[in-house]
Amino acid sequence: MDQHSVAVDVDRVVKRYGTVTALHGVSMDIRQGEFFTLLGPSGCGKTTLLRCIAGFEDVSEGAIRLKGEDIAPLPPHKRPVNTVFQQYALFPHMTVLENVSFGLRRRGWSDRDASGRSREVLEMVRLSDFAKRRPGQLSGGQQQRVALARALAPGPEVLLLDEPLSALDLKLRQAVRVELKQIQRETGIAFVFVTHDQEEALTMSDRIAVMSEGRVQQIGSPRAIYEAPQNRFVADFIGETNLLDVTVTSVSAGMAELELPGGLPLRCPAAEGAVQGAGHVSVRPERIAIGAPGAGTLPATVADHVYLGTDIQLHAKLDDGAPILVRMQNAGQDSVPEAGSRLGLTIEAGAARLLAD
């Protein structure tokens, strides 16, 4: 990738609050025009990193480069990035139009030009009819769109979004996801989107950085993050998974030879950094096939099942007592394996992945 297609270069950023370290040398490249998501549980440092890029927090060490220029020493009002705040932070004493024009006016645009440009942006978020209203007179979804329009109007190099959908109810949130993604494509502006909601991250992002305890755990496309998790945290945080204790006999060229619990041999892809000896394999519940016990299958005993509509979830136990979760598609089967019945589970080579830890 060439230098020019990087929008933001986060280079070994450390953030300390007194004795607490919120970011432990975080690095990532955010490319121009991509929808980039910072995903992780609360307290993982994703919002801190976003606030460092916006300039609301000083970085303790490291650089944040925008088009090659280090913006870390600049105050927020000198950075060509704009933010959509979690609770929107709309100016309550201004009309929608005044809110959206605010950034342009501060950058020296005339009242007329700023209003014209703001009206265009309001049109894009379908709020033209609300230009004269005050934020207090709008619904949550409308306020969210005003916040988006206000941040987009000055044409930032990068748009930062701090869990902007978390204040909306579920139905609205799903509609706004599609809309937001569409606006991102239309404008071609790089979006840096912070969320703790993995479904949101998977459906909207071009790439995701999974964070935990102030460190980047993995960066990749939604598919890569889900199908090829790097470590136990990523495998467990994204979707549902089974983490099985295994013994690795050899790792070479990204493939591992290992023994599943009970000694069943398996050859599967290995994450970078995986080594010989005791390790962990991630197997998604929907990638396990069930059948009768027999040679070449992993024996298990059904403990319970949960009916989920499109799926049926089987809670089973391996012979060593480790729990294992299997998801069967609801294809109109007459019978579901009863509690106590014996099963033979088949894990295809491509369904399992040896993790780095």
Order the strands of the 242-252 sheet from edge to edge. 265-269, 255-259, 242-252, 277-283, 352-354
Query: Minimum distance between the CB of residue 206 and other proteins, rounded to whole angstroms?
Result: 24
Q: Which stretches of the chain are DSSP H helices?
A: 46-54, 96-106, 111-124, 140-152, 170-187, 198-204, 222-227, 232-237
Query: Minimum distance between the CB of residue 55 and other proteins, rounded to whole angstroms?
Result: 7
Query: Minimum distance between the CB of residue 48 and other proteins, rounded to whole angstroms?
Result: 14
User: Which among 184, 158, 163 has a CA at the least distance from the CA of 173?
Assistant: 163
Query: Minimum distance between the CB of residue 92 and other proteins, rounded to whole angstroms?
Result: 6
Which one, 106 or 342, has the nearer CB to other proteins?
106
Query: Minimum distance between the CB of residue 20 and other proteins, rounded to whole angstroms?
Result: 17
Residue 250 CB neighbour total at 10 angstroms: 11
Query: Minimum distance between the CB of residue 83 and other proteins, rounded to whole angstroms?
Result: 5
Query: Minimum distance between the CB of residue 100 and other proteins, rounded to whole angstroms?
Result: 10
Which one, 54 or 256, has the nearer CB to other proteins?
54
Contact 208, 221 (CB under 8 A): yes
How far is residue 15's CA from residue 20's CA, in Å, rounded to a whole number? 9
Which one, 102 or 233, has the nearer CB to other proteins?
102
Task: Provide CB contacts within 8 A for 282, sequence distance 6+.
Answer: 229, 232, 235, 236, 241, 242, 243, 352, 353, 355
**290 is written with which tokens?**
């069930």
Q: For residue 109, what are the CA distances in angstroms to 101, 112, 131, 276, 349?
A: 9, 8, 18, 63, 60
Which one, 152 or 235, has the nearer CB to other proteins?
152
Which one, 66 or 288, has the nearer CB to other proteins?
66
Which one, 17 or 91, has the nearer CB to other proteins?
91
Write the single-letter amino acid at 269.
P
Which one, 66 or 343, has the nearer CB to other proteins?
66
Contact 354, 247 (CB under 8 A): no
Query: Minimum distance between the CB of residue 127 and other proteins, rounded to whole angstroms?
Result: 18
How far is residue 48's CA from residue 250's CA, in Å, rounded to a whole number? 40
3 state DSSP class of 250: strand
Which one, 136 or 332, has the nearer CB to other proteins?
136
Interface with other proteins by CB under 8 A: which residues?
54-56, 75-78, 81-83, 85, 87, 89-93, 102-103, 106-107, 150-151, 154
Question: Residue 178, class by beta-carbon neighbours within 10 Å (0-12 exposed, 13-18 middle, 19+ buried)?
Answer: exposed
